[in-house]
């Protein structure tokens, strides 16, 4: 019988053998708060792969949870949607809800292994445990909230990981000089700090982006033009070189997003709000 460990083996093998993954982050609810179905995920994955200006490069999806909305521990319907659309997946185990919730995440992972493992060859990028849990200083009591990756208390966590996921938003660094023009340098500084404690392990960019609208954060101004600038100056040099899951394709939530990061806004369409093409690239 397929096992969760076999899915992990697939993830490790794929991570070694494939080119860099390139995609978006995906939640599990629609704008009205209802749970996404398989067809909802299929529509989003197909749209991402067909975005104007991208050459069909955005074919990966990062998930925050393994659990289908409205269930206790059934596998998320993004999995069969990914199989059908040939979208690679960075599985996510939500770790901020306590032990009982995390146990259900593991149950859902095992169920997914039993149900889909034979169909997931070449589609599993990896397994991400948690999302910004160290940043939230919970539940292990991290002292350094701004740069948790460099806090000594996190070293045991780093040692247990095969790779490190980095969420970086220069827009939110409001205590620094953070106009969009400083996006590359602030992003690079954050990545360098993580690399300094990574012990040579790969750093995957699990979230980054610049908002198209919303409040000003320090000197960070949310606008479509600035979102394009950040995409061009920070995103383009990374795409195809390291694993990147951008935040985000589609704004969706029970309330209007503020700030809003969706490259297509809140309506699913192949035409983005700004130019997603990349010309000559320079490494960030």
Least confident of 111-125, 167-181, 251-265: 251-265
CA distance 101 to 35: 17
Residue 267 resides in a domain = no
Is 132 tagged catalytic?
yes
Residue 158's pLDDT is: 87
Q: Which of 44, 105, 173, 207 is catalytic?
A: 207
> Do the Cβ atoms of 61 and 23 come closer than 8 Å?
yes
- Assess if residue 4 is contained within a domain: no
Residue 279 lies in a domain: no
Is 182 one of the annotated active-site residues of the chain?
no
Q: Which of 114, 132, 202, 219 is catalytic?
A: 132
pLDDT of residue 151: 66
- Say which residue, 106 or 279, is predicted with more confidence: 106
Can you tell me the mean pLDDT for 249-275?
88
Better-predicted residue by pLDDT, 32 or 60:
60
CA–CA dist 95, 81 (Å, integer)? 24
Q: Is residue 278 part of a domain?
A: no
- 22-26, strands of its sheet edge to edge: 124-129, 88-93, 60-63, 22-26, 244-246, 202-208, 163-168
pLDDT of res. 180:
99
Residues facing 86 on adjacent strands? none
CA 81 to chain centre: 17
Q: What are the pLDDT digits (tens) for 64-85?
A: 999 999 999 999 999 999 999 9
Mean model confidence pLDDT for the chain: 88
Find the range with the poorest average confidence among 89-93, 155-159, 261-265, 266-270: 155-159
The Cα 233–Cα 242 span in angstroms is 15
Q: Is residue 8 part of a domain?
A: no
Residue 184: which CATH number?
3.20.20.80
Measured CA to CA, the distance from residue 251 to residue 221 in angstroms comes to: 18
Count of structural domains, the chain: 1
The total number of residues written for the chain in this structure: 284
- The verdict on pTM exceeding 0.75 is yes
Asked, for residue 16, whether it belongs to a domain, the answer is no
Could you read off the pLDDT of 208-246 as tens digits, one per residue? Answer: 999 999 999 999 999 999 999 999 999 999 999 999 999
Domain assignment present for 272: no
Q: Look at residue 160 and tell me if it is in a domain.
A: yes
pLDDT surpassing 90 at residue 131: no
- Sorted by sequence, the CB contacts under 8 Å of residue 131 that are 6+ apart come out as 64, 92, 94, 95, 96, 167, 206, 207
Residue 138 has pLDDT above 60, yes or no: no
Tokens of 272: 């983005």
Both tokens assigned to 129: 């445990």
Domain that holds residue 52: 22-246
Instruction: Please name the residues in contact with 9: beta carbons below 8 A apart, sequence gap of 6 or more.
Output: none
């Amino acid at each position: 019988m397929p096992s969760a460990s076999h899915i992990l083996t697939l993830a490790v093998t794929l991570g070694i053998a494939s080119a860099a993954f390139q995609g978006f982050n995906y939640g599990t609810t629609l704008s009205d708060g209802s749970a996404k179905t398989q067809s909802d995920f299929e529509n989003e994955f197909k749209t991402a792969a067909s975005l104007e200006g991208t050459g069909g490069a955005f074919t990966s999806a990062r998930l925050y949870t393994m659990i289908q909305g409205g269930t206790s521990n059934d596998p998320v319907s993004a999995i069969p949607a990914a199989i059908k659309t040939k979208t690679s997946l960075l599985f996510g185990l939500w770790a901020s809800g306590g032990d009982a919730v995390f146990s259900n995440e593991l149950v859902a992972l095992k169920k997914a292994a039993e149900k889909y493992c034979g169909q997931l060859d070449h589609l599993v990028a990896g397994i991400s445990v948690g999302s910004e849990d160290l940043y939230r200083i919970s539940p292990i009591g991290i002292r350094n909230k701004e740069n948790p990756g460099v806090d000594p208390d996190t070293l045991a966590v780093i040692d247990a990981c095969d790779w490190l996921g980095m969420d970086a938003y220069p827009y939110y660094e409001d205590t620094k000089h953070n106009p969009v023009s400083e996006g590359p340098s602030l992003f690079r500084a954050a990545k360098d700090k993580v690399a300094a404690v990574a012990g040579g392990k790969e750093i995957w960019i699990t979230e980054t982006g610049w908002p198209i609208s919303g409040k000003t954060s320090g000197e960070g101004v949310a606008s479509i033009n600035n979102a394009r600038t950040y995409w061009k100056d920070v995103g383009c040099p990374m795409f195809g070189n390291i694993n990147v899951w951008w935040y985000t394709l589609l704004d969706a939530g029970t309330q209007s997003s503020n700030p809003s990061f969706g490259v297509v806004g809140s309506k699913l369409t192949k035409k983005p709000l700004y130019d997603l093409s990349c010309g000559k690239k320079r490494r960030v």
